Amino acid sequence: MIDKIVLASGNAGKLREFSQIFSEWQVEVLPQFAFDVPEAEETGLSFIENAILKARNAARHSGLPALADDSGLAVDALGGAPGIYSARFAGAGADDAKNNSRLLEALQGVDDSHRGAAFYCALAFVRSAEDPVPVVCTGSWRGRILQAPRGEQGFGYDPLFWVEEHRCSSAELARETKNRISHRARAMEHFAAAWQALAEEH
């Protein structure tokens, strides 16, 4: 029975959302910083490959089963960029504010009808660092990039991501609403279905 896992992320916004989502699960989730897990090199060419790399890295350094999330924003008018490079769109070590300004700059003069975008999230779960059959679940979330930021909640590109069905930005959404409809929430729904079988494994 798996009753403790490590979350293979150094992103405080993600860790907050995962602990909110996992709060109803019968499993203890620990952040990777509790085990001094070094940041993994994200050398994959897809969200899925990077998530597997991060999960294996955290499992190796913690000795626990690990769940990783690799996610990002794909903007239609930028041919899907920044995509897997979302965390460093404004350069290595860029923070959310710099990445958001870079995005507004890149979309200067693009009208609302051409600012469609989607968030993608790939989750990878490994029972151990060498697990030959990682569990991979994905989710996506369509929206539109605003001309100026709105809202204080969330993290990353949330202030620029317009959610039509709620007529607000992702940073204006109540946390529990975002945790029900986001790319991460959708990927976690798939993971919840897989978890039943996983948790019963020897």
Ligand X SMILES: O=c1nc[nH]c2c1ncn2[C@H]1C[C@H](O)[C@@H](COP(=O)(O)OP(=O)(O)OP(=O)(O)O)O1
- The nearer residue to ligand X, 9 or 138, going by C-beta atoms, is 9
157 appears as a binding residue in the annotation: yes
- Count CB atoms within 10 A of the CB of residue 75: 25
Cis omega (within 30 of 0) on the bond before 82? Answer: yes
Convert residues 126-165 into a mask of x (bound to ligand X by CB under 6 A) and - (unbound).
Answer: ----------------------------xxxxx-------
Q: Exactly one of 36, 70, 76, 111 is catalytic; name it.
A: 70
What is the identity of the amino acid at 147?
Answer: Q
Nearest-approach distance from CB 35 to ligand X, in angstroms: 14
The neighbour count for residue 155, using CB atoms within 10 Å, is: 15
Which is closer to Mg ion, CB of 42 or CB of 131? 42
Does 70 participate in catalysis according to the annotation? yes
- How many residues line the site for ligand X (CB under 6 A)? 23
Residue 169 binds ligand X, judged by CB under 6 A: no
Rule CB under 6 A: say whether 179 interacts with ligand X: no
Annotated ligand binding at 98? The verdict is no
The pairs formed by 139-143 with CB atoms below 8 angstroms and a separation of 24 or more are: 139/182, 139/183, 139/184, 139/185, 139/186, 139/187, 139/188, 139/189, 139/190, 140/183, 140/186, 141/181, 141/182, 141/183, 141/186, 142/116, 142/117, 142/118, 143/116, 143/117, 143/118, 143/119, 143/170
Q: Dihedral of CA 46/47/52/53: which sign?
A: positive
Does 72 sit near ligand X (CB under 6 A)?
yes
Instruction: Give the integer Cα–Cα distance in Å for 162 and 150.
Output: 9
Nearer to ligand X, 158 or 172 (CB): 158
Asked if 163 is part of the footprint of Mg ion (rule: CB under 5 A), the reply reads no
Can residue 87 be called a binding residue for Mg ion (CB under 5 A)? yes
14 binds ligand X (CB under 6 A): yes
Among 5, 9, 67, 188, binds ligand X (CB under 6 A): 9
Task: Please state, as a whole number, how many other Cβ atoms lie within 10 Å of the Cβ of residue 186.
Answer: 18
Which residues of the shown chain bind Mg ion in the complex (CB under 5 A)?
A: 87
| Residues taking part in catalysis | 70
Which positions make up the binding site?
Answer: 9-14, 41, 70-71, 155-158, 178, 183-184
Which positions make up the binding site for Mg(2+)?
Answer: 41, 70
